[in-house]
Structure 1
Amino acid sequence: MNETEFTAKERSRFRKLLEVANSTTYIGERDAAMNAATRLAAGHSMTLREAAGMAEAPDAPEPDLRQKPRRPGAFGAGFGAAAPEYMGTWWRQPHQPARPSAGFQPESERVAAEKRRLAEAMADAVGRGLDAEERAAAERAVSARSRRHIRTGKRGAWRARPEFIRVLLVETGMTAKEIAAAAGVTIYEVFREKLLMRRAVGKVAV
């Protein structure tokens, strides 16, 4: 895998960040999620749009790995320079694709479905004015305001910060350092919320 491709874990994180940006009703949180997605893409020398376009790519070219060499008898010696009359008649036979078994979803359909899902989330995010490339200056201003915990409008740019931290912990799989950067808090606040979540789960289990 080259440096401009996501790993499976990074693809999942990128997709979840777009979903957070798409689902939240808080402006600051949308910008924070998109900023985090932009940083993830930049780490692989990609723009946000480029990353969204390739996030559904498989980890390895499996179809190529599964290809089997043809029987030597089907071709004449020196295949690269052979004329059609020396190539046999196998190519004249109509191709009958194998039928998948019931309940089986081909890899191509799964990839296509994931691609459509990403495209819809990206289109909605961009439609709301969250294109990081076109709004870099606005994002820096939002980031500066978020660090001062300034609320704007009747609804405000952020929900309670601990609640947003928990959303990122549960839904994105980001590291504590990445969540702290995205939410505009210290890493200790992230650890605090993570510990409180564990305690809450322990009480429920009891």
Structure 2
Amino acid sequence: MSASGTARVALLVDGENVSSGYAGKLLSEAAQHGCVTIKRVYGNAARVPGWDAAPGLRLVHAGQGKNAADLLLTIEAMQIFHDAQADVFVIASSDGDFSHLATHLRERGVLVIGAGEGKAPETFRKSCSLWVRIEAKSTEIDKAIAHVFSIMPDGLSIGQVNPEIRKRHAITLADVAEKSWRKYFEARPKLYAITGAGPQTRISLL
């Protein structure tokens, strides 16, 4: 605890798994449990659009290695624990690989709050002391995707869709219900025109 008796909270975000659009919600949730003294986002800086501009959060570049962000978040979480820098941990991710970290901290008497989307596996949710579901409204996501195409009069090739939408609105395929971008657009025939096949597929707004 801090000198004032207020719990110190560490907010650790898997930036490659959680959209920067949730920054405000995560900060608000963390603040409900005490004074948020550590606010970090982990990921390859080239793959986490929007997080570098999230107010109050420090982006920690994890490099390009496989699972580099997950490993660095875990290492720093344990350092924070052993240095007694926080009483509460908020781990923001929908990745089940953090189940072990959550369990390890909780078994040592730490309050662990997991925050993620509905796709987060049950193993991770149950490994936390508390679980908070963060979810963007589908209508807001649809509106943001349509906005990208509204400023692209010639449309986009299917290969350009993910990087362009991610760059402009930090939205990825994981944020929609469909399993592929083609299926997403096929489910909205009144909004989008689909031409071509395979890599030559092109999407445009009607």
- Category of TM-score, reference length = shorter chain: under 0.3
- TM-score normalised by structure 1 residue count: 0.24
Q: Of Structure 1 and Structure 2, which has the larger fraction of its residues in strand?
A: 2
Where relative contact order (Cα < 8 A, 6+ residues apart) is larger, the structure is 1
Greater Rg over alpha carbons, structure: 1
- TM-score normalised by structure 2 residue count: 0.24
Q: Of Structure 1 and Structure 2, which has the larger fraction of its residues in helix?
A: 1
